[in-house]
Amino acid sequence: MESLPSDLAAAHTMILAERAARIEAEALAARAAAVRSGTEALIARLKLEIEKLRRELYGSRSERKARLLEQMELQLEDLKADATEDELAAEQAALQSQTVRSFERRRPARKPFPEHLPRERVVIAAPVSCPCCGSTRLSKLGEDVTATLEVIPRQWKVIQTVREKFSCRQCEAITQPPAPFHVTPRGFAGPNLLAMVLFEKFGQHQPLNRQSERYAREGIDLSLSTLADQVGACAAALRPLHALIEDYVLNAERLHGDDTTVPILAKGKTDIGRAWVYVRDDRPFGGIAPPAALFYASRDRSGDHPERHLRQFTGILQADAYAGYNRLYLPDREFGPVTEALCWSHARRKFFVLADIATNARRGRTAPPISPIAFEAVRRIDVLFDIERDILRLAAERRLAVRAERSAPLVVELEEWMRGERARLSRHAPVAQAIDYMLKRWGGFTRFLEDGRICLTNNAAERALRGLALGRKSWLFAGSERGADRAAVMYTLIGTAKLNDVDPQAWLADVLARIADMPQSRLAELLPCWGGRLPTASQCARMSSLKAQSRETVRGRDYQNWHGYVSAPGDWQGVGGESPPR
């Protein structure tokens, strides 16, 4: 054991040396922790990028792939935050040490800020004299610009529309321009405010009471009842557009149909109501008709509702095997039978839950055994999905030809294999129930081999309902049946705008500003799907920034140009047309 010094000076020297060694060791440890955190964050980011690229190239390989990507993104978020904290800690430790250098984490190249954002230059005053010699003979060599992204809090303003009165000196008649239009009777809210309230409620699923509380924190007193009045008046004004979308969707050759639960408030309880959606989307088979979504609401799931919704529809309905659709498929139906096309994703899901290896691994000893029959069924169905990815957006005739060549033999083999396996299974076996689900409806599942317009899945309708299913956790229930119907109207408008890559809030603001002056025969021009000349979401963002740079009140045609909506012949079209000039 090393002997301790006997005099005070040597003890002080030894203590200082030990302190320096400890500081250096702590700095090295902090740097090592920063290196490890940075490496873990880099690995997580690369894994996420690889999974996203695989998803784009090959599609989702399982039902849980979307959830897996979300979990990986959350993990990457935490790892990057940890890496930044460790890097700062290593930097502070390195400042106390003379030998350990600071650690700088290798970061991916930062994307430039969008060009449409306004720029504000803040010039730091240069010194008037040289700090070294004191000379005032300074010559500018250049400049370094540090770009910082900042946000300006939402601004509220009151627009005072002045209507001057004039009296005729000759006939003493009084002349005055008409008052500006408001959507609500004796209204006070502008179209942009109304569009924001509507989109927050139905697009972002923020109930009016939360909106009212947030506005109050910003110094604006808008009570719940006041906001509810505005929502009711706007929904009434927008119903003609819902009727136009309804006619457009129900005149399609093929529809995707689905429903989801919507609790509706009743006396002392909530009824489990339903939201129904019918999506027209011809893009998978190369159609040029713009997509649109149509929503309805009901207090129950009776088959009377889809029968009423699709009363005059006689095309192809892609849906699940819900028995409520069966009356639509009857040969003696009044307007003719609807062609049934079932969803392979629903059928695959029943096998997948019996062959989910990852889920069983998490359950441990309590997990049920993996079904080899279900595993083989999933493998065979996935081959069909791979073929469908190769023919996406091709013409219907080309899709049908490829299916006849590649998919039809696989479907025949799948049916023979399932019937053979089913003969050896008990009727109570879970995998037998999954097999029966398909074999009892085999005609509906194989309809895609007869018509190139039919998709393999009903995912278009499920995607349309995804936002509503997530919003249910926020607003919990609809206040009444009429409230559910009103929500269906707004979901139709917002969902159709999203399908056409149109900013829903900007579009609602434009519609509310123009709908009073629009003749009934030209209402279709306001729609985001086929008649309107509307910009995409990115174009709306750029034009919003251009508006923010101006403090002048714009009237007439200039008002429409600032919003990106123009009506003169030959003007640009945001959907399927040229981009507007910068």
Task: Look at residue 516 and tell me whether its pLDDT is greater than 90.
Answer: no
Q: Quickly state the pLDDT bin for 245 (edges 50, 70, 90).
A: very high
- Structure confidence by residue, pLDDT tens digits, 16-53: 777 777 777 777 777 777 777 777 777 767 666 766 66
Residue 573 has pLDDT above 60, yes or no: no
Residue 557 has pLDDT above 70, yes or no: no
Q: What is the pLDDT of residue 108?
A: 59
Residue with tokens 């000039």: 581
Rounded to whole angstroms, the Cα distance separating 288 from 119 reads: 39
At 161 the pLDDT is 85
pLDDT at 83: 66
Residues β-bridged to residue 260: 275
pLDDT reported for residue 231: 87
What local confidence, expressed as pLDDT, does residue 159 receive? Answer: 87
Question: Band of the pLDDT at 82, cuts 50, 70, 90?
Answer: low
Measured CA to CA, the distance from residue 31 to residue 287 in angstroms comes to 58
* pLDDT single digits (tens) 50-67: 666 666 655 555 545 555
Tokens, residue 134: 């004191």
Q: For residue 578, is pLDDT > 60?
A: no
Distances (CA, A) of 220 to 217, 526, 534: 7, 31, 31
The pLDDT value recorded for residue 263 is 79
259: nearest Cα among 286, 299, 232, 230: 299
Give me the sheet containing 292-298, strands edge to edge.
292-298, 269-280, 254-266, 316-319, 339-342
Q: Please name the residue that has the structure tokens 């509310």.
A: 512
- DSSP secondary structure string, 66-97? HHHHHHHHHHHHHHHHHHHHHHHHHHHHHHH-
- The pLDDT confidence band at residue 556, using thresholds 50, 70 and 90, is very low
Q: Which long-range contacts (CB under 8 A, 24 or more apart) does 101-107 make?
A: 102/31, 103/31, 103/34, 103/35, 103/38, 105/34, 105/38, 105/41, 106/38, 106/42
355 or 351, which is more confident?
A: 351
Kindly report which listed range (161-170, 460-469, 570-579) carries the lowest average pLDDT score: 570-579
Q: Is the pLDDT of residue 461 over 50?
A: yes
Calculate the average pLDDT of the chain.
79
pLDDT value, residue 24: 78
Q: pLDDT value at position 354?
A: 85
How far is it, in rounded angstroms, from Cα 362 to Cα 208?
A: 41
Q: What pLDDT score was predicted for residue 362?
A: 59
What is the 3-class SS of 342-374, one letter each residue? ECHHHHHHHHHCCCCHHHHHHHHHHCCCCCHHH
pLDDT at res. 249: 93
pLDDT at 273: 84
Distance of CA 500 to the CA centre of its chain: 13
pLDDT value for 386: 93
Beta strand 166-167 pairing with 174-175:
antiparallel
Percentage, residues of the chain above pLDDT 90: 33
Write out pLDDT tens, residues 91-109: 767 666 656 566 555 655 6
**Percent of the chain scoring above 70 in pLDDT:** 74
Query: Mean of the pLDDT values across residues 74-97?
Result: 65
pLDDT at 255 over 90: yes
Residue with tokens 């294999």: 417
Phi first, then psi: give them for residue 174, nearest 5 degrees: -100, 130
Task: Please state, in angstroms and as integers, the Cα–Cα distance from residue 125 to each residue in 129, 149, 151, following that order.
Answer: 12, 21, 24
Q: Can you read off the two tokens belonging to residue 418?
A: 């399932």
Mean pLDDT of 272-298: 91
Q: Which residues contact 312 (CB under 8 A, 6 or more apart)?
A: 250, 335
What does the pLDDT average to over 502-519?
90
258: part of which helix (H) or strand (E)?
strand 254-266
Q: Is the Cα torsion angle 379, 381, 383, 389 positive or negative in sign?
A: negative
The two structure tokens encoding residue 417: 């294999």
The lowest-confidence range among 172-186, 281-295, 520-534 is 520-534
Q: Could you give the maximum distance between any two Cα atoms of the chain, in Å?
A: 119
Q: What average pLDDT does range 354-366 have in this prediction?
A: 63
Strand partners, 480: none
Write the pLDDT tens digit of every residue in 174-189: 998 888 777 776 678 8
Query: Distance (Å, rounded) from C-alpha 397 to C-alpha 409?
Result: 18
Helix, strand, coil percent values for the chain (each to nearest 5): 55, 10, 40
Strand 269-280 relative to strand 254-266: parallel, antiparallel, unpaired?
Answer: antiparallel
Q: Is the pLDDT of residue 79 over 70?
A: no
Per-residue confidence band for 247, with pLDDT thresholds at 50, 70 and 90? very high
**Domain locations along the chain:** 20-96, 245-464
| Banded model confidence at residue 489, pLDDT cuts 50, 70, 90 | very high
Angle, alpha carbons 368-372-374 (nearest 5°): 85
The pLDDT assigned to 430 comes to: 86
pLDDT computed for residue 58 by the predictor? 55
Residue 69's pLDDT band, with cuts at 50, 70 and 90, is low
Confidence band (pLDDT; 50, 70, 90) for 345?
very high
- For the segment 345-366, the average pLDDT, to the nearest whole number, is 74
Local confidence band at 441 (pLDDT 50, 70, 90 cut-offs): very high
- Spatial CA neighbour of 317 closest among 254, 259, 275: 254
- pLDDT confidence tier of residue 195, bands split at 50, 70 and 90: very high
Residue 547 phi/psi, 5-degree rounding, is -65, -35
What's the mean pLDDT in 261-277?
Answer: 79
Q: Calculate Rg over the CA atoms of the chain.
A: 32
| Model confidence at 566: pLDDT above 60 | no
pLDDT of res. 307: 92
Contact 340, 325 (CB under 8 A): yes
